[in-house]
Amino acid sequence: MFHGRLVQRLLRSLGFLSVLAFTANAHAESRWQSLNQMVVDQHILPRYQQLETDTQALAQATALFCTQHTRSAFEQLKATYHRAMDSWMAIQHIRLGPVEASLRYYRYQIWPDKHNTGTKHLQGLLKSEDRERLEPKQFAQSSVAVQGLTALERLLFPTASDSGQFGSPEAPSYRCELMLAITGNLAQMSSEIVTDWAAGETPYRTRVLTAGPENDDFASHEEVASQWLNSISTQLQVITEQKLFRPLEQFRLKRAESWRSRRSLQNILLNLLAIRELYAIGLSPKLSEDPLDNTIKKAFDQTIASVKALDIPLYDIKQDSPEAKKLEKILADARQLTALTSSELPQALGLSLGFNSLDGD
């Protein structure tokens, strides 16, 4: 009899513990759902909306220049390009969702271009002067190497060696028609992404916020949160290995992103500011009083401060100069931040870092 009562007590205790565990898991899921909604509504959607605004302005500035062909219109076009690039850098870290569809991510920017594919395809298109290929539907299906911001940079900021390849920025006709195709395509993609996130029969926002067993995209709200963690970790890997280490290795600065337009460091700064905000909105609140939260925030601040300490373009820095030492400092700070977010942070949050889209590169 005593043994029977003991078993009953144990079973009741186990049942009580199961209820506690279920309640705790439900609370955790609810908290993640709340944070995920904040990420979508306060971080992702506003940035895509800004990208839509700035790429539309870029298309309009291109049309104005191609009508007037004046120096002032050309300078205005380049300024509008910089604003569009700013907006892209501010959302470059998000690789999931509508930006994945139809290769949109790579149609915005194909970089790094280790085999100089962009130059080759752009040369071929300019030489052909094939206007049928510039029709919106056909252009959207053409090589990603000629569609995006990287191709447009080659046209707007040619170097002395580029002039024989791409011609003069002020050249009329086909060159302008190509720029109109590029900027119109960028504006169209941006508009489609905003629509896909927020409208239609099943907006991607809804798919994110209704995570669960019956959701084909996300089995849980925790899984969605893991995507934000992955976005931060992946972008930091891009910054350290591709945007900094690769050009600094043997000091080959033409490997840097956006070296023609002299905005390599601006790109890195905007990336860091964006993923710091993503961390602050979507992940930091779950750490409560964990000292790691403050450590990560300080690491973000330190890396951002190191980038801001350089006041000349990366491409113009000379090897063995004081500025080169500052570049090495940025790389060291970025690597420390990468280590914190890819090793310690997942464990502290109880999240899986998951598949890295750069794996195998």
Conformational region of residue 190, where left means phi above 0, alpha means psi within -120 to 50, and beta covers everything else: alpha
pLDDT band at 25 (very low <50, low <70, confident <90, very high): low
Indicate if the pLDDT at residue 239 is higher than 50: yes
Distance (Å, rounded) from C-alpha 352 to C-alpha 88?
A: 27
From residue 44, alpha-carbon distances to 75, 101, 123, 198 in Å are: 30, 16, 35, 11
Contacts of 230 (CB under 8 A, 6+ apart): 353, 354, 355, 356
Query: Do the Cβ atoms of 36 and 283 come closer than 8 Å?
Result: no
The predicted structure's pLDDT at residue 201: 85
Domain boundaries of the chain, sorted by first residue: 41-200, 221-349
Question: What is the chain's alpha carbon radius of gyration, rounded to the nearest angstrom?
Answer: 24
Conformational region of residue 317, where left means phi above 0, alpha means psi within -120 to 50, and beta covers everything else: beta
Distance (Å, rounded) from C-alpha 147 to C-alpha 111?
A: 12
Q: Which of 19-33, 195-209, 245-259, 282-296 has the lowest mean pLDDT?
A: 19-33
The predicted structure's pLDDT at residue 22: 45
First-to-last alpha carbon distance for the chain, in angstroms, is 66
pLDDT tens sequence across 168-214? 555 558 999 999 999 999 999 999 999 999 998 899 999 999 999 99
pLDDT tens sequence across 35-94? 999 999 999 999 999 999 999 999 999 999 999 989 999 999 999 999 999 999 999 999
- % the chain with pLDDT above 70: 87
pTM (predicted TM-score): 0.90
Q: What is the fold, at CATH topology level, of the domain defined by 41-200?
A: A middle domain of Talin 1 (1.20.1420)
Q: What is the mean pLDDT of residues 155-171?
A: 66
